[in-house]
């Protein structure tokens, strides 16, 4: 009788242990993988897993700026603009034409138009990445701030404090894409937003 009780107890313990292991393993395998590797708490800016070395560095600079006791607004605008350009013009890490870079920094009311415009122009011929894509695509490896100045910018008759940022950037390989541009970054109530971007033609 005692042996039977011990057998039942041991079997029950084994079943509980197996159920625990199954629960742990099942939950680990079912847990969704986050597409982000970093986030600036309180600001909502996120760093995606496909971020390049340059984007990671500029994101770190932005994070340091925003988490400081006193925020340097010029640095905020500069790093935001630099990440925007590096992400927008690096196509080599994008899944398809709908995977538009830099959207999180764009003024909310302009995001949909921005994405549609990029899909129909800059990303128009971007092939789907199914694991064997051989298409030559741009990869921004360096970026430089040429100038930054405070301006006024009007959206729908509302005037905003803003920064005009001129940037130049360099690719791992020159494939004929833009290398210079003007970005307008407005000051919102808390967040800054990209509201306008214009490539600048470089001659000579």
Q: What is the pLDDT along the chain (204 residues), one digit of tens a residue?
A: 555 545 444 545 555 454 444 444 445 445 556 789 999 999 999 999 999 999 999 999 999 999 999 999 999 999 999 999 999 999 999 999 999 999 999 999 999 999 999 999 999 999 999 888 999 999 999 999 999 999 999 999 999 999 999 999 999 999 999 999 999 999 999 999 999 999 999 886
Q: Looking at the structure, do residues 3 and 98 belong to the same domain, yes or no?
A: no
Q: Where are the beta strands (DSSP E) in the chain?
A: 36-39, 46-48, 140-155, 158-171, 180-187, 192-199
Q: What is the pLDDT of residue 161?
A: 98
Would you say the pTM of this structure is higher than 0.85?
A: no
Q: Looking at the structure, do residues 185 and 104 belong to the same domain, yes or no?
A: yes
CB 102 within 8 A of CB 194: yes
Number of compact structural domains in the chain: 2
Domain range for 12 is 1-31
Q: How far is residue 3 from each of residues 13, 14, 15, 72, measured CA to CA in Å?
A: 15, 16, 18, 75
Q: What is the pLDDT of residue 176?
A: 96
Annotate 132-187 with three-state secondary structure: CCCCCCCCEEEEEEEEEEEEEEEECCEEEEEEEEEEEEEECCCCCCCCEEEEEEEE
CB 70 within 8 A of CB 83: no
Q: Looking at the structure, do residues 27 and 126 belong to the same domain, yes or no?
A: no
Q: What is the pLDDT of residue 93?
A: 96
DSSP 106: B
CB 186 within 8 A of CB 153: yes
Instruction: Answer whether residue 204 is part of any domain.
Output: no
Instruction: Answer whether residue 159 is part of any domain.
Output: yes
Instruction: Answer whether residue 102 is part of any domain.
Output: yes
């Amino acid at each position: 009788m005692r042996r039977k009780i011990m057998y039942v107890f041991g079997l029950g313990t084994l079943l509980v242990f197996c159920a625990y292991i199954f629960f742990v393993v099942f939950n680990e395998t079912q847990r969704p993988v986050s597409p982000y590797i970093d986030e600036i708490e309180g600001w909502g800016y996120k760093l995606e897993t496909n971020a390049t070395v340059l984007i990671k560095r500029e994101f770190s600079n932005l994070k340091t700026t925003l988490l400081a006791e006193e925020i340097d607004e010029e640095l905020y605008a500069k790093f935001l603009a630099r990440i925007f350009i590096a992400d927008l013009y690096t196509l080599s890490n994008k899944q398809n034409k709908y995977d538009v870079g830099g959207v999180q920094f764009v003024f909310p009311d302009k995001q949909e138009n921005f994405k549609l415009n990029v899909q129909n122009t800059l990303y128009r011929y971007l092939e789907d990445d199914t694991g064997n894509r051989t298409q030559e695509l741009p990869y921004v490896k360096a970026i430089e701030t040429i100038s930054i100045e405070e301006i006024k910018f009007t959206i729908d008759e509302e005037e905003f404090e803003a920064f005009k940022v001129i940037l130049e950037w360099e690719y791992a390989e020159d494939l004929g894409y833009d290398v210079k541009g003007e970005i307008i970054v407005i000051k919102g109530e808390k967040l800054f937003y990209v509201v306008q971007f214009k490539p600048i033609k470089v001659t000579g």
